[in-house]
Amino acid sequence: MRQPALIQVQGSNAPNSLKAPLMNFVKLLGALLIAAGVLGLVYGGFSFTKETHDLKIGPVELALKEKQSVTIPSWAGIGAIALGAALLLFGGKNR
């Protein structure tokens, strides 16, 4: 019985071909963390409007809207910047 021959393509290595997209993802994630950290430090938080109650009695409709705000602590912004910088510096290195 004849066994199939193994074909080896020169210059292609499966583990190395998977490293490039992973390194690009790590760099993108690092850049997004830095941008989010800077925005968190500059704005300090954000607010949004939430509809909480809706009342309908015949033709009369009442809706209650609450404005809520979320503050982002400065330590979270600094941490996001530090983590993003670490990913950019050390995340793309070949091991």
What's the distance, CA 9 to chain centroid?
36
Q: Answer yes or no: is 61 within a domain.
A: yes
Q: Which of 41, 40, 26 is nearest to 86 (CA)?
A: 26
CB count, 10 Å around CB of 80? 21
Q: Answer yes or no: is 11 within a domain.
A: no
Q: Answer yes or no: is 49 within a domain.
A: yes
The whole-number pLDDT of residue 79 equals 96
Q: Answer yes or no: is 41 within a domain.
A: yes
The whole-number pLDDT of residue 59 equals 86
Q: Answer yes or no: is 83 within a domain.
A: yes
The whole-number pLDDT of residue 88 equals 92
The whole-number pLDDT of residue 14 equals 46
Q: In the chain, how many domains are there?
A: 1
Q: Answer yes or no: is 31 within a domain.
A: no
Phi and psi at 3, nearest 5°, equal -95, 145
Q: Answer yes or no: is 71 within a domain.
A: yes
> For the segment 36-88, what is each residue's pLDDT rounded down to a tens digit?
999 999 999 989 898 877 878 888 888 888 899 999 999 999 999 999 999 99
The whole-number pLDDT of residue 55 equals 79
> For the segment 3-44, what is each residue's pLDDT rounded down to a tens digit?
655 555 454 454 556 667 777 888 999 999 999 999 999 999
Domain region containing 61: 37-95
Q: Answer yes or no: is 30 within a domain.
A: no
